[in-house]
Amino acid sequence: MELLNRKQKVIVIEAEPGISHSSYYPGIDNRRVRVSKKYWNLVSRIGVNIIEEDKHGYWIDPLEYLILTASEIYRNGGTILTDSTIEPIYRIIEDRIIVIGASVKSLENETGPDKTYILSKGIIDASQNAYIVNNLIDRLKTSILIQGAGPQIPGSDDVVHKTTWVFPGIIVAGIAAIHTNGAYIPFPDIGPIIASGARAAELFIEGYPENPVQGINFPSVI
């Protein structure tokens, strides 16, 4: 949504056969998550219903939030492909890996020829277990260390600070940033997860830094 608002072309690739929160961040009883008041402005604009309010924030239905977000993406010209996965396409230029696009594969027909190739300015990996980054690291046989998720600390915004570039062309955000950079899990709060996505959009617009600033976490830049 943030990138579409900045006139970027966006394709969302979803491995599930439909829009579902259950595999990623199901919430309590699979039907309610909190959005901390600090990040409520990122959620309120799409008109999601408040189930309950407490001193920490607002409780909402995660599935309703995803459906409204998907509708907003389509309304603003974005595309969502479900039941699909991607592999980055890259070039090695002056010993640096530069991601230039991706091949999109339908999971419904894994043995078929139905692959689509997309040229892209970059990829934001927000997948469970950092699927895209993990596969690229395995293919390149690099010494990059995936740190795994940190402990569960409700409401922690650690994931926002650990939303980073991994390769020139790939940013980790949300669950993928938690898994890659050892960030704390803010469960049941999705506010920091959503703010991580907004931060990823900012990083994408700014572009990959040629000279990373000391003190900023670039865990595995090649």
CA separation for the pair 3, 164 (Å, rounded): 16
The structure's pTM equals 0.88
Average pLDDT over residues 30-45: 92
pLDDT tens, 190-199? Answer: 999 999 999 9
Average pLDDT over residues 194-222: 72
Domain ranges of the chain: 2-206
Please give the structure tokens belonging to residue 209: 């830094």
Q: Which superfamily is assigned to 2-206 in CATH?
A: FAD/NAD(P)-binding domain (3.50.50.60)
85-115 core/surface letters (b: 16 or more CB in 10 A; e: else): bbebbbeeeeeebebbbbebbbeeeeeeeee
